[in-house]
C-alpha cells in the first residue's frame, strides 16, 4: 500500500498546511519618485514555498520580498502568489508613488548695480512642503546667513553673487542674483545725506532729506519705516511718531539704465524723545548771556581770516580755534562776521531759555539805517539731554516767511581758491553760480575761505531771503541795504530792533513743513546769514553778530 504524506510520526500521518500571506496596513505602500520601496509581508507555512510577484500580468520577482523602483507618479498594483504542494495564497498590494517635495526658491529681486555702501534686506520665496526645510544664504560661495532673508551690504566695489538655497530630505534648490557695486560717482544720479542719525521729540515733524541730489529725473524713491513700506515716493521723508524709542528708516533710490536697475540705499536711525524731559531750570547763578559758542562755520567773506578789522590771528586752523576766536570776540563786545549766505554761529546757554510772552532772545548786531544784513535765527531744544547741539533745528519765522521770493532749503557750495588774492567761487542748488569777490584795497589775507575747513569745498544750507540792496548813486558809490520788516538778526527793523538789538520770539518757531511748533523752552541758538548778494565796493552782504542773550521780562 502506498501512503501519500509529507510526514509520518509515530504512525500518525500529517499534511503541511497551505501558505498564508499576512499584510499590514492593508497592503498599501507609499514611495516617492526616484526611490525604492520594499514589499515584504509576513508569511505562515511558507517553508519551501514558491513566490511569484506580478505587475500587469508580468512576473517581476520570485523572491520572498520585492523591491520596486518608483519611476513615475501614480498607483501600481502588485499581485503576490505563494504556493506549496498543499495549496496557495494570493494577495494584491498597492504602491502609491508620490511626487518628491523638492523645495523651490526664488530671490525677490533682479540683478542690480549699486553704490558702495548699499544695504538691502534681500528676501526669498520658498514653496511650502510637508518636510522640514532649511534655508541658507551665501555670497560668492561663502555662507553668510540662514532664514528667509538677510541684510546685504556692499562694503567694497566688486561683483557679489548671492545664492539662496532651500534644502529638505527630498533635495535642494537654489536661486542667485548678482549685485555689482561701484563708486557712487559712477551712478547716473547723486543722492547723498550728511548724517545717518536723527533725533526729535514725540509728535513733531522731522525732515529727512538729502544734502545732495542731482540727475533725479526717472529716479524712484522707496521709504521704509521699521521694516514696513511707508508709501512715500519723494526724495525726502517727513517723519513723525509718538512712539518714544529708536526707529529705523531706510530709503532706496533706483533708476533704470537700459535693462539694468542702478540703485543706492541709505539707512538712518531716528531717536524719539519725550517732550521736555531734559529741561534745565534757571539757577541763581545762571546768566542771561550765552554760556558758550558751540560752532562757528562762516561762509567765505571779506572779514574771514582778516588780521586787522576782523581780529583773526592767523592761527585759527581748527574748529576749536575758530570757536575760541568767536567766543572771545563776543565776550569783548566785538562783532563776528558770518560771511556770505549760509555762514552760521551756534551758541548755547547754561540753562533752558523759557518761551515767555513776547521776545525771548536778543541778538546784537551792527545794523543801522540803510545797512541791514539779515540773519535768520534758528532754535533747538536739547531733546536727548546730551548737552550737544545735535537735535532738531526750528526756524524762527520772520516777515519774509512764506513769500514766493523766499527760498527754503537753499544750498550753496563754496570752493577754495587756487591762489592768493582770488575770489571764492560758488554754486547753488538752483543752478546759480557766482563769486565772493576779493577786495584787495581793504584786505590782505590770502583769501576769504575759512582756514579751519580742510576740505576744498563745503556746502551751507538754509533759508534764503530775496536781496534788497541797490546802488542809490547810480555810479556804484552809495549802496543801500534796506531793512526787512521783522524777525531777523542784524536787521534795522522798526518793529523789533532797538540800538542794533533785535528781539526774537520763540513762539515764531516753525517746523520743516512750515507748521508752527510749540516750544516751551530752547537750549541753543543759531544765527545764519540769509542773503546772497554783493554791494559793489562794500563787498558781500554778511550778517554780523555782536552779542546773544536771553530777554528777561
Q: Using alpha carbons, list the distances in angstroms from residue 518 to 181, 357, 381, 488, 506.
A: 45, 13, 11, 20, 9
Query: What pLDDT sits at residue 26?
Result: 87
Which tens digits make up the pLDDT trace of 318-343?
999 999 999 999 999 999 999 999 99
467 near 533, Cβ under 8 Å? yes
CATH number assigned to the domain covering 7-98: 2.60.40.10
Q: Please say if the pLDDT value at position 444 is more than 80.
A: yes
Angle at alpha carbon of residue 337, lines to 331 and 342, rounded to 5°: 125
Asked if 105-184 and 187-273 have one fold, the answer is yes
Which tens digits make up the pLDDT trace of 142-175?
999 999 999 999 999 999 999 999 999 888 999 9
527 by Cβ neighbours in 10 Å (0-12 / 13-18 / 19+) ranks as buried
- Beta pairing class for 228-229 and 105-107: unpaired
Query: What pLDDT sits at residue 221?
Result: 96
Phi and psi at residue 543, to the nearest 5°: -60, 135
Span 362-375, mean pLDDT? 96
Which tens digits make up the pLDDT trace of 268-310?
999 999 998 999 999 999 999 999 999 999 999 999 999 989 9
Query: What pLDDT sits at residue 108?
Result: 79
Q: Which residues are within 8 A (CB) of 386 and not within 5 positions of it... i.e. 6 or more apart?
A: none
The residue extents of the domains of the chain are 7-98, 105-184, 187-273, 292-409+447-453+464-550
Strands (E), 226-317: 228-229, 237-239, 246-257, 260-273, 292-297
Structure confidence at residue 457 as a pLDDT band (50, 70, 90): very high
Span 483-488, mean pLDDT? 97
CA distance 179 to 111: 6
Which tens digits make up the pLDDT trace of 410-435?
999 999 999 999 999 999 999 899 99
- Beta pairing class for 246-257 and 220-225: antiparallel
Which class in CATH covers the domain with range 187-273? mainly beta
Q: Please say if the pLDDT value at position 1 is more than 80.
A: no
CA distance 200 to 195: 14
CA distance 460 to 299: 8
CA distance 181 to 30: 50
Between 1.20.120.330, 2.60.40.10, 3.10.580.10, 3.30.390.30, what CATH number should domain 105-184 receive?
2.60.40.10
Structure confidence at residue 2 as a pLDDT band (50, 70, 90): very low
Helices (H), 161-271: none
CA distance 190 to 215: 7
Structure confidence at residue 100 as a pLDDT band (50, 70, 90): confident
Q: What is the dihedral of CA 188, 194, 196, 198, to 10 degrees?
A: -130
CA distance 151 to 98: 37
CA distance 505 to 359: 4
Q: What percent of the chain has pLDDT over 70?
A: 97
Could you please report the per-residue DSSP string of 119-154? EEEEEEEE---SS--EEEEEETTEEEEESSEEEEE-
Q: Using alpha carbons, list the distances in angstroms from residue 523 to 330, 354, 385, 536.
A: 18, 9, 10, 38
CA distance 25 to 271: 64
Phi and psi at residue 299, to the nearest 5°: -80, 165
238 by Cβ neighbours in 10 Å (0-12 / 13-18 / 19+) ranks as middle
71 by Cβ neighbours in 10 Å (0-12 / 13-18 / 19+) ranks as exposed
CA distance 113 to 276: 45
Span 250-256, mean pLDDT? 93
| Best CA proximity match to 30, nearest among 79, 80, 94 | 94
338 near 412, Cβ under 8 Å? no
The sign of the dihedral angle between the CA atoms of 281, 291, 357, 277 is: negative
CA distance 269 to 247: 6
CA distance 99 to 333: 89
Which tens digits make up the pLDDT trace of 166-187?
999 888 999 999 999 999 889 9
Strand order in the sheet with 361-364: 497-498, 501-504, 361-364, 547-550
Structure confidence at residue 464 as a pLDDT band (50, 70, 90): very high
DSSP 185: G
- Beta pairing class for 112-115 and 260-273: parallel
Phi and psi at residue 83, to the nearest 5°: -135, 145
SS3 per-residue string spanning 366-410: CCECCECCCEEEEEECCCCCCCCCCCCEEEECCCCCCCCCCEEEE
| Other CB atoms within 10 Å distance of the CB of residue 315 | 11
Query: What pLDDT sits at residue 8?
Result: 46
C-alpha cell at 104: 523651490
Structure confidence at residue 7 as a pLDDT band (50, 70, 90): very low
- Beta pairing class for 88-98 and 28-32: parallel
CA distance 346 to 325: 13
Could you please report the per-residue DSSP string of 16-62? PPPPEEE-SGGGEEEEETT-EEEE--EEES-TT-EEEEEETTEEEE-
Amino acid at each position: 500500500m502506498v501512503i501519500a504524506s509529507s510526514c509520518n510520526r509515530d504512525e500518525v500521518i500529517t499534511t503541511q498546511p497551505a501558505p498564508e500571506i499576512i499584510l499590514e496596513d492593508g497592503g498599501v505602500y507609499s514611495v516617492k519618485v526616484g526611490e525604492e520601496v520594499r514589499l515584504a509581508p509576513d508569511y505562515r507555512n511558507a517553508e519551501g514555498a514558491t513566490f511569484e510577484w506580478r505587475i500587469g500580468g508580468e512576473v517581476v520577482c520570485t523572491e520572498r520580498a520585492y523591491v520596486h523602483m518608483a519611476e513615475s507618479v501614480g498607483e501600481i498594483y502588485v499581485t503576490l502568489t505563494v504556493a506549496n504542494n498543499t495549496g496557495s495564497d494570493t494577495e494584491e498590494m498597492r504602491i502609491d508613488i508620490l511626487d518628491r517635495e523638492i523645495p523651490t526658491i526664488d530671490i525677490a529681486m533682479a540683478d542690480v548695480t549699486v553704490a558702495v555702501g548699499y544695504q538691502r534686506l534681500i528676501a526669498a520665496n520658498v514653496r511650502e512642503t510637508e518636510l522640514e526645510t532649511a534655508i541658507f544664504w551665501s555670497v560668492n560661495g561663502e555662507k553668510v546667513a540662514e532664514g528667509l532673508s538677510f541684510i546685504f551690504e556692499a562694503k567694497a566695489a566688486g561683483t557679489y553673487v548671492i545664492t539662496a538655497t532651500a534644502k529638505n530630505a527630498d533635495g535642494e534648490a537654489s536661486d542667485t542674483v548678482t549685485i555689482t557695486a561701484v563708486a557712487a560717482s559712477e551712478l547716473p544720479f547723486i543722492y547723498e545725506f550728511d548724517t545717518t542719525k536723527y533725533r526729535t521729540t514725540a509728535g513733531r515733524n522731522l525732515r529727512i532729506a538729502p544734502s545732495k541730489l542731482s540727475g533725479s529725473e526717472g529716479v524712484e524713491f522707496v521709504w521704509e519705516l521699521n521694516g514696513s513700506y511707508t508709501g512715500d515716493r519723494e526724495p525726502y521723508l517727513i517723519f513723525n511718531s509718538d512712539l518714544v524709542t529708536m526707529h529705523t528708516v531706510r530709503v532706496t533710490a533706483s533708476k533704470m539704465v537700459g535693462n539694468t536697475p542702478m540703485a543706492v540705499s541709505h539707512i538712518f536711525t531716528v531717536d524719539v524723545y519725550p517732550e521736555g524731559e531734559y529741561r534745565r531750570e534757571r539757577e541763581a547763578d545762571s546768566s542771561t548771556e550765552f554760556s558758550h559758542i558751540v560752532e562757528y562755520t562762516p561762509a567765505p567773506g571779506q572779514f574771514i581770516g582778516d588780521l586787522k578789522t576782523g581780529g583773526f590771528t592767523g592761527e585759527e586752523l581748527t574748529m576749536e580755534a575758530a570757536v575760541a576766536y568767536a567766543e572771545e570776540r563776543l565776550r569783548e563786545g566785538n562783532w563776528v562776521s558770518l560771511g556770505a549766505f549760509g555762514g552760521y554761529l551756534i551758541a548755547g546757554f547754561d540753562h533752558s531759555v523759557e518761551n515767555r510772552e513776547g521776545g525771548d532772545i536778543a541778538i546784537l548786531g551792527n545794523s543801522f539805517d540803510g545797512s541791514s544784513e539779515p540773519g535768520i535765527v534758528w532754535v533747538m531744544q536739547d531733546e536727548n539731554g546730551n548737552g550737544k547741539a545735535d537735535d532738531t533745528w526750528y526756524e524762527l519765522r520772520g516777515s519774509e516767511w512764506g513769500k514766493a521770493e523766499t527760498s527754503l532749503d537753499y544750498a550753496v557750495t563754496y570752493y577754495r581758491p587756487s591762489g592768493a588774492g582770488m575770489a571764492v567761487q560758488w554754486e547753488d542748488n538752483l543752478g546759480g553760480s557766482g563769486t565772493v569777490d576779493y577786495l584787495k584795497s581793504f584786505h590782505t589775507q590770502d583769501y576769504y575761505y575759512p582756514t579751519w575747513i580742510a576740505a576744498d569745498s563745503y556746502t551751507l544750507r538754509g533759508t534764503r531771503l530775496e536781496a534788497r540792496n541797490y546802488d542809490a548813486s547810480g555810479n556804484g558809490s552809495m549802496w543801500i541795504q534796506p531793512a526787512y520788516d521783522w524777525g531777523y538778526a542784524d536787521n534795522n527793523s522798526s518793529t523789533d530792533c532797538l540800538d542794533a538789538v533785535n528781539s526774537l520770539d520763540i513762539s515764531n518757531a516753525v517746523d520743516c513743513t512750515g507748521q508752527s511748533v510749540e516750544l516751551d523752552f530752547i537750549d541753543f541758538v543759531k544765527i545764519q546769514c540769509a542773503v546772497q548778494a554783493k554791494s559793489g565796493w562794500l563787498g558781500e552782504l554778511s550778517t554780523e553778530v555782536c552779542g546773544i542773550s536771553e530777554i528777561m521780562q
